[in-house]
Amino acid sequence: MSNVTVADYQGIEVSTWCPGCGDFPILKCIKEALVQLGLAPHQVIMTSGIGCGSKLPHYMRVNAYDSVHGRALPVAMGLKLANHDLTVISITGDGDGYGIGGNHFIHTCRRNPDIVHIAQNNQVYGLTKGQYSPTSDLGYITTTSPEGSIEVAINPIALAMATGATFVSRASSGDPKHMTQVIAKAIQHKGYALVDVLQPCVTFNKKNTYAWYKERVYKLDDEKGYDPHDPKAAWVKAQEWGTRIPIGVIYQEVGRLTYEEQVTVLKQGPLVKQGFNGRIKDDSELLKEEFV
Ligand code: SF4
Ligand code: MG
C-alpha cells in the first residue's frame, strides 16, 4: 500500500500560465495518475522542451530535465536507457513535439522505448504569441497566416500509428477525470505511449476553445464494441476530426518488445547500477580522456 499523496508532488515555483490555460488540468491529472499508481517522486523523471507547457515540470516536485526546443523525446529515451527502472514522462507542445521535434517523434514511435509522451496540443504557438502551428486547422487565421493557414494540419494520432507507436490516445483538458484515467493507462503500458491532449490556449487560440471541443469530443469508452486492439477500427477512429473528435485509448498493441528490452547490456540491469564492468577503472579516467 503506497503512502504517496498529491501533496508529495507539489512544487514551489509559482506558475506563469495564463488564468484558464488548459495546462492547469494536465498538471493536476499527471500528479493524480502518478499517485493512483503509487509512484513516488524519486521513481519518476520528466523531460520537456520549450513552450508554455514545457514549464510543467517546474511546477512539480519531481526529477526533471528541461531540454532544448523539440528534443524532449530523445532526452527521455536516453534517460530510459541509462536507468530503465525509472518512470519517464516527456512533455511537449504541438509546435515543440510535432514541428521542431517532428523527426524525433516519428523515430521514437518506431523504436518503442517504455516512455510516456504527453503532448499539450493547443493548435497554436502560445509562448511566442499566437503563430499557427503544425496542428492548426487549415484556414486558421493568425499573425503568421493572415489569410488562413494553407498547410494541412498534422494528424498526430494517425502519424503515431503509421510509424509504429504501440499506445496512441487522446485526452481533453475539458475532462480531467477522464484524462487522469488515460494518463494512468499510458504509464502502465509497456512501450511508447502517446497522450495527445486537447489543451485550449485561452489567450491566443480563440477558435479551439473549451466550448468548441466540448461540442465535438466524445469518449471511446461509450462506443459500444470499440476495441483499441483492432488496428483497422483504430485507423478509422484516427481519421476522425471536425464534427466528432474521439478521446480515450484509440490504439494499443500489447506484447511488442521495448527498445531497452532488446539491448543486450541492459538485460543485466539498469546501466546506473552496473558500474564500469572493467571497461574503465573509475570515472576519473573518463575525465582524463575528455578534458586533459
Ligand atoms: Fe496557456 Fe496560451 Fe497562456 Fe501559454 S499563452 S500559458 S498556452 S493560455
Ligand atoms: Mg502549442
Instruction: Summarize pLDDT for 82-106 with one digit per residue, the tens.
Output: 999 999 999 999 999 999 999 999 9
Residue 105 vs residue 281, higher pLDDT: 105
Mean pLDDT of 170-180: 98
Which residue owns the Cα nearest ligand 1 atom 1?
Answer: 21
The CA 74 to ligand 1 mean position distance, Å, reads 25
Q: Say whether pLDDT at 291 is over 80.
A: no
Q: How far apart are CA 219 and CA 209, in angstroms?
A: 18
- The pLDDT score that the predictor gives to residue 290 is 56
Pocket residues for ligand 1 (CB within 6 Å)?
A: 17-18, 21, 23, 52, 122, 126-127, 201-204
**pLDDT tens-digit profile of 60-81?**
999 999 999 999 999 999 999 9
Which residue owns the Cα nearest ligand 1 atom 5?
Answer: 126
- The pLDDT score that the predictor gives to residue 292 is 46
User: Three-state SS across 71-106?
Assistant: CHHHHHHHHHHHCCCCEEEEEEEHHHHHHHCHHHHH
Q: Say whether pLDDT at 2 is over 90.
A: no
Q: Say whether pLDDT at 280 is over 90.
A: no
The CA 223 to ligand 2 mean position distance, Å, reads 29
Q: Which three cell numbers stand for residue 53?
A: 507547457
- The pLDDT score that the predictor gives to residue 268 is 87
With bands split at pLDDT 50, 70 and 90, how would you rate the model's confidence at 286?
A: low
**pLDDT tens-digit profile of 181-225?**
999 999 999 999 999 999 999 999 999 999 999 999 999 999 999
Task: Spell out where 99-244 has E strands.
Answer: 116-121, 167-172, 193-198, 217-219
Q: How far apart are CA 218 and CA 3, in angstroms?
A: 34
Query: Which residues are CB-contacts of 215 (< 8 A; sequence separation ≥ 6)?
Result: none
The CA 283 to ligand 1 mean position distance, Å, reads 43
Q: What pTM, to 2 d.p., does this model score?
A: 0.94
Which residue owns the Cα nearest ligand 1 atom 2?
Answer: 201
Is residue 105 a contact partner of residue 97, using CB atoms and an 8 Å limit?
A: yes
SS3 133: coil
- The pLDDT score that the predictor gives to residue 275 is 75
